Amino acid sequence: MLELSNRKPIFKKKRKSKKPVEEVSRFNSVSRGTNVGLNIFFAILAAIAIIPFIFVLIISLTSEQSLLINGYKFWPDEWSLEAYKYIFTSSSQITTAYGITIIVTISGTLLGLAIMSTYAYALSRKSFIYRKFFTKLIFIPMLFSGGMVASYLVVTRCLGLKDNILALILPICVSSFNIIILRTFFKTTVPDAIVEAAKIDGASEWVTFIKVVLPISVPGIATIGLFLTLGFWNDWFNAMLYIDDNSLIPLQYLLVRMETSMEFLANNATTMGTGAIEAASKMPKETAKMAIVVITTLPILFAYPFFQKYFVGGLTIGAVKE
């Protein structure tokens, strides 16, 4: 009995090792020096992106005479709004052009998102038996194009959209690349179990897509929406091809025409008489170009934070909660 009592227990409780937790915390943490270095690096990248636009804004607010004498400076000797006054007074259409651009951008973005999101969602579902055919159908235009002449004939002759605001919307409304991005996003983000659960509850395809799929897919849709917004806002080539009516000219094409007219007047003033020479001498050539850049960029710059809100908000939305 004494011998048995002195024996050590055979089975011992295993102590939980703290090494895995320490290793995980070590790999998930950043040292103070690395953190400072990364902050400095990203601050330099941000400055590289922001400083050129600030410089363009400063040049647009510089007087033309000071710019010719002293050159480009971050703090000019003479500030002036001459370039902006020249742009807004030389063309009475600029307010109308702003309105056309806003209408085209908003309606084109909404229509493009509606078409591409539904198309991409159908391609992302394994139950859709024609998904391979329609995937190839949108993939072909990424490799081959009919060219500018063919597209012009389709838009003007077949669709009859010459001098129609739809000519500014439909040609760039749908993109094969954006559809493929959304299709991949839907396949990786929307689980099949959620869609099947919605169908078991009696939801139709439209109800499932609008009330279940879209709230989960806000980051992807917001990204494509930003691409569409930038594309519609910066587009001027379609207006040059399809629009002759001055009341339908968008802002970008109007500013391109103004810049072309300024270049023509500056280069050919000597052959056009004394009136043209006097007008060319008073015209703010360089500062007006910078003012055009600012006018076209500022609205998008102010609109971007609204898209950023949807990026951040969409990441916090989940369909399955523990």
Q: How far is CA 36 from CA 28, 30, 48, 233, in A?
A: 16, 10, 18, 38
pLDDT tens digits, residue range 244-263?
A: 888 888 888 888 887 777 77
Q: Are 172 and 235 in contact (CB under 8 A)?
A: yes
Give a yes or no: residue 237 inside a domain: yes
Rounded to 5°, angle at Cα 286 from 266 and 276 = 25
What domain count does the chain have?
Answer: 1
Buried b (16+ CB within 10 A) or exposed e, 134-158: eeeebeeeeeeeeeeeeeeeebbee
Higher pLDDT, 145 or 13: 145
pLDDT at 317 over 50: no
| DSSP collapsed to 3 states, 211-279 | HHHHHHCHHHHHHHHHHHHHHHHHCCHHHHHHCCCHHHCCHHHHHHHHHHHHHHHHHHHHHCCHHHHHH
Write down the H helix ranges in the chain. Answer: 2-6, 19-28, 32-60, 64-70, 82-90, 94-124, 131-143, 148-153, 176-189, 192-200, 205-208, 214-216, 218-234, 237-242, 251-268, 274-282, 285-315
pLDDT at 4 over 60: no
- Say which residues have a Cβ less than 8 Å from residue 191's Cβ, sequence separation at least 6: 319, 320
CA distance 254 to 165: 15
Give a yes or no: residue 10 inside a domain: no
- Which two tokens mark 294? 């600012």
Higher pLDDT, 25 or 35: 35
- Which two tokens mark 115? 């078409």
Say whether 284 sits in a helix, a strand or coil: coil
CATH number of residue 178's parent domain: 1.10.3720.10
Give a yes or no: residue 289 inside a domain: no
Give a yes or no: residue 38 inside a domain: no
Give a yes or no: residue 209 inside a domain: yes
Nearest to 171 by CA among 156, 146, 151: 151
Give a yes or no: residue 314 inside a domain: no
pLDDT at 322 over 50: no
Boundaries of domain holding 183: 91-283
Confidence band for 9, pLDDT divided at 50, 70 and 90: low
Give a yes or no: residue 132 inside a domain: yes
Confidence band for 279, pLDDT divided at 50, 70 and 90: low
Give a yes or no: residue 229 inside a domain: yes
Confidence band for 103, pLDDT divided at 50, 70 and 90: very high
